[in-house]
Amino acid sequence: MDKNHTMKRKLIQLYAALLYNANLRGYIDGKIYTGNVKAACVPGFNCYSCPAAAGACPLGALQNALASSGKKAGFYVFGILMLYGLMLGRTICGWLCPLGLIQELLHMIPTPKLPKNRVTRALSYLKYVILAVFVCAVPVWYGIRHDMAVPGFCKYICPAGTFEGAVGLLSNPNNADYFGMLGILFTRKFVIMLIIGLFCIFCYRSFCRFICPLGAVYSLFCKIALVGVKVDGTRCNGCGACVRHCGMDVRKVGDHECIHCGHCMEVCPQKAISLKAGSLTLMAPEADARRQKWSRIAGGIAMAVLAFALVWFNFLDPSIQKQPEPEAPAQAEQTAAEGFEVGNVLKDFEIPCTDGSVFRLSEQRGKVVVINLWATWCGPCVQELPHFEALYAAHSEDIAVIAVHSPFVTDDVNEFLAEKDFTIPFAVEPEEGNVWQIVDGSTTLPQTIVLDRNGVVIYNQRGSVTPDLLESLYTQAAG
């Protein structure tokens, strides 16, 4: 048996974490990766709003697919999850999950540890309840009944989203304005993240064992997963050392709680356990020169892939080149007052509306102008649309409101609007850009811009707004 098995696994976990988060320049820019590669879901738990994330989170994608299940079946996500489940199953949890690595590192802090027992074994079924309630019920019902994407797990629980996404973005000085949108949601999720982290110190992989819905999904494939630890029945003497030494709540090697970490291979006195892919042995207690040779070749290929990924995502990807800089700052050099920041005069624009009319900013002078950047697939955006409608209804003579949909269109916007009774004008941002560039629109939604009667920006913030805030901004803008 390889003595450095544990170290090898840690390195593979680290490798996976780095590969999923190969867009390291995201930490410098404070922006997320927007290339086409992100259509691919990574197998492990990794927030796609992390500045470094190079792929999509399968759980986030699943929730969004379920949220739009009333209109479109999320075949792609279901297919990907089935494929990962079939090929790797919970081996992903043990070897390819960055969150698993973080939990194991936290557990290495020397403290008294809580051993597994009957309660933890029963608690391991909690993740199936969370899967049913937060991952399935909430997104499905809100999607069907309200045309609103509410990824319940991401929004209310996910510690990866808080740590990698929220904290990852907030830690960049370029995103100082993100602090403006923090509130109860962040406070609650931050505390949840701390509590989960604390549990992980005392109790091995607490999040994995009790909460992780992705692990729950993969565990459904435990009987058919191709890769996993297998017991050689002819060698096994049933001593149970494998189960007794395992940190997870397994009843036998390879069951739905087994993450195939291979710790049992080290402790098995009979050397009866090995990591296999079908009939091919990937790792076994006995050293094998041929396997070691292939292992070295695979390691070399993996390193080459990582090196290529790092170069590609950080230097070569076309999305890096095509990211347009907002026009306004360049304009601001020529005419000092023109720009998108508070105090600047917003550059004139015109955009065709969904009702056939054309919205021209210059024609709105003398009125308070509210511009809302939104998307049908953004739950909070859909949630706050009625606030803009109410504001418009209350001050229709004195206010111009325009809601501009993101250039990324997933649902038919006209069909979406036909089901609602909005009177405010709506427009869809063209792919080549228009309003988005002028108001400094980004990949972060929703965003609200308020102009006073002279076209001067008095508010330009990302994040949700409340009716009170809108009313107060109107009062401020109306002078």
Partner 1 sequence: MFLLIIQSVLCVLCVLVMSVLVVRLFLEGQAYKLDGHPSEWIYTREKAGNLLLTCLPLFLLSVGATVVSAVMGVKSSSKPQKDAEITRDLTIRCIKEPSAEMLAERSIQKRFHIGGWCGFAACMVPIVLYCVNPAHFDSSDAEGLETVIGAMVLHTAPWTCLAIAVLSVCLLLRDKSLERETNLAKNCKKEAISSKTAASSGKTVMIVRFAVLAAAMLCIILGMFNGSMRDVLYKAINICTECIGLG
Q: Segment 80-139, which members bind partner 1 (CB under 8 A)?
A: 80, 82-83, 85-86, 109-113, 115-119, 121-123, 125-126, 129, 132-133, 136-138
Token pair 């990907």 in the structure block, residue: 80
Per CB under 8 A, 78 contacts partner 1: yes
Residues in 310-369 at the binding interface with partner 1, rule: CB under 8 A:
none
CA 427, distance to chain mean position in Å, is 27
Least distance (Å) between residue 276 CB and partner 1: 13
Out of 150, 253, 424, 428, the only residue in the binding site for partner 1 (CB under 8 A) is 150
Query: Tokens representing 266?
Result: 């080290």
Out of 13, 21, 23, 68, the only residue in the binding site for partner 1 (CB under 8 A) is 68
Per CB under 8 A, 181 contacts partner 1: yes
> What's the rounded Cα separation, in Å, for the pair 464 and 448?
8
> What's the rounded Cα separation, in Å, for the pair 433 and 351?
11
Cα-based angle 48, 52, 57 (whole degrees, multiple of 5)? 20
When the beta carbons of 97 and 331 are compared against partner 1, the nearer one is 97
Out of 17, 19, 22, 56, the only residue in the binding site for partner 1 (CB under 8 A) is 56
DSSP symbol at 346? P
DSSP string for residues in 64-112? HHHHTTTTS--HHHHHHHHHHHHHTTTHHHHHS-HHHHHHHHHHTS-S-
Residues in 189-218 at the binding interface with partner 1, rule: CB under 8 A:
189-191, 194-195, 197-198, 201-202
Closest CA to 441 of 301, 340, 308: 340
> What's the rounded Cα separation, in Å, for the pair 384 and 465?
7
Per CB under 8 A, 479 contacts partner 1: no
Per CB under 8 A, 149 contacts partner 1: yes
Residues in 432-471 at the binding interface with partner 1, rule: CB under 8 A:
442-446, 459, 462-464, 466, 468-469
Per CB under 8 A, 146 contacts partner 1: yes
Out of 89, 98, 100, 152, the only residue in the binding site for partner 1 (CB under 8 A) is 152
Identify the bridge partners of residue 352 per DSSP, sorted by sequence position.
358
Out of 7, 14, 182, 287, the only residue in the binding site for partner 1 (CB under 8 A) is 182
Out of 11, 14, 224, 336, the only residue in the binding site for partner 1 (CB under 8 A) is 224
Least distance (Å) between residue 334 CB and partner 1: 30
Per CB under 8 A, 253 contacts partner 1: no
Per CB under 8 A, 61 contacts partner 1: yes
Per CB under 8 A, 391 contacts partner 1: no
Stretch that binds partner 1, among 9-17, 34-42, 294-302, 396-404 (CB under 8 A): 34-42
DSSP SS3 for 411: coil
Stretch that binds partner 1, among 15-23, 45-53, 285-293, 303-311 (CB under 8 A): 45-53
Out of 28, 251, 298, 307, the only residue in the binding site for partner 1 (CB under 8 A) is 251
> What's the rounded Cα separation, in Å, for the pair 167 and 49?
10
Cβ–Cβ < 8 Å for 89, 67? no
> What's the rounded Cα separation, in Å, for the pair 459 and 461?
6
Out of 12, 170, 353, 417, the only residue in the binding site for partner 1 (CB under 8 A) is 170
> What's the rounded Cα separation, in Å, for the pair 119 and 36?
45
Q: How many other C-beta atoms lie within 10 A of the C-beta of residue 364?
A: 18
List phi, psi (to 5°) of 56: -90, 150
Per CB under 8 A, 238 contacts partner 1: yes
